[in-house]
Structure 1
Amino acid sequence: MANSAPPPPPATPSPASKLVRIIAVVILALIVLVGLAVLITWLAVKPKQLVFRIDNASARDFSLKNDHLNATFAFLIKAHNPNGRISVYYGPAEVSAAYDGQTVAFNTLAPFRQPRRNVTWLAATLVARDVALPRDVSTDLAVQKKSGNIGLVVRMKARIRFKVGIFRLKHHTLRVSCSPVKVRMPLFKNFETTTCDLDW
């Protein structure tokens, strides 16, 4: 009876496969280390949510004729950075005012930097110039004007970047929505502060 052939020797990994395995291990270790560094930094910094609110809003030169709106809206926006170790860089901020889902005024604010534990006041002047409105919206707006204030939705959109120590983090798009903002007519002095919702 013929003897069976001996089993082949185990295959020796090629140098190329060893190199690929080493590179994979190194990359995985780097990912873990970076993740731990980010987590530790995040816990050390203890980031807090930015806070926005509108402290004043008024309208002047308000005119509503033939379903066309002309007005100048002035908003005083309070931006609060409560963080003790994070400063914020804001790009140009787009600010708009809408009534019943329709944008009626728009403006862009200049870029600014907000230091740590800082309150920055933003004065936004938005002009509505011959804005055409649907008849029902125009009628409702006229009724609100007679009551002394107009309920608007004020939105702000800006590209922001956080700075922690010497590190600058990636850009985010910040969206701020404030509603309802009771814009007062010149003869009416009372204003209710409006808090804002944030999304990024």
Structure 2
Amino acid sequence: MTEEHRRKKTSSEMTRYAPTDLRRFCCTFIVIFLLLAGVTTLIVWLIYRPHRPHFTVVGAAVYDLNTTSPPVISTTMQFTVVTRNPNKRVSIYYDHLSAYVSYRNQQITPPAVLPPLFHERKTTVALSPIIGGAMVPVSLEVANGLVMDEAYGVVGLRLVLTGRLRWKAGAIRTGHYGVYVKCDMLVGLKKGFVGEVPLLGSPECSVDI
């Protein structure tokens, strides 16, 4: 075998194996990078591990509740909701918050848009949204149920808050997560009464993220 033939053979082998080696190197690099990124994310999560915020209804007022024209209801209500951020290292941004009231799983107010909220670590914030003020179509069952509950003096309502939140830990901010807050309560309400109504208990809300 001549020197020139040997050189051509070596060059051919290098050309044949170089792309394979390059692909193997790229795959190895990507796997190592993903492993390091996963480990880093897990460590950050274990350190900061955000807990769900807590919501509690502490006050309610009814300024109007008109059920005289079924199947349409008009009502204006106000609720005082206390929300607590239990996290020591994580703050919360709330975006696109809205609230509405339902009765027997049927919405009886239009959604009320709430301003964005930044919730610092280990703090408590009170919200007092006024909800309603417009006619809402309902079923006859809902209209008749409200009339009967008002006559009895106890009405079961559900306050619902929906929106999106982000967690903030130091310079790290997460993407958006949907948040759904459901507050079931019993209020003492007689027909024709206007103003602050008693809450039968101080219901803590369920929070889904």
> Smaller-chain TM-score range?
0.7 to 0.9
Match of 1:197 in 2: 206
Match of 2:78 in 1: 74
More moved, 162-171 vs 50-59: 50-59
One of 137, 146, 150 as aligned partner of 1:145: 150
One of 52, 56, 59 as aligned partner of 1:53: 56
One of 17, 21, 41 as aligned partner of 1:18: 21
The structure where helix makes up a greater share of residues is: 2
Counting only pairs closer than 5 Å after superposition, residues 80-159 of structure 1 correspond to structure 2 as 80-105=84-109, 106-159=111-164
One-letter amino acid of the structure 2 residue matched with residue 91 of structure 1: D
Using the aligned pairs only, state the percent identity: 24
The structure where strand makes up a greater share of residues is: 1
Deviations 1:104-160 (A, max 9, x none): 112010101001111111111111522232222211111111233321122111111
Per-residue deviation, 1:187:
7.2
Q: Tell me how large the CA RMSD over aligned residues is.
A: 1.9
Per-residue deviation, 1:18:
1.2
Normalising by structure 2, report the TM-score. Answer: 0.83
Distance in 2 of aligned mates of 1:166 and 1:18 = 39
Deviations 1:57-99 (A, max 9, x none): 2211222112132211111111110101000011120111111
Structure 2 CA distance for partners of 1:112 and 1:188, relative to 1, 3 Å: closer
One of 67, 75, 82 as aligned partner of 1:64: 67
Aligned residue pairs, count: 189
Per-residue deviation, 1:189:
4.7
Work out whether 1:32 is the aligned partner of 2:40: no
Distance in 2 of aligned mates of 1:78 and 1:157 = 15
Match of 1:4 in 2: none
Normalising by structure 1, report the TM-score. Answer: 0.86
Q: Secondary structure at the match of 1:56?
A: strand
Q: Secondary structure at the match of 1:170?
A: coil
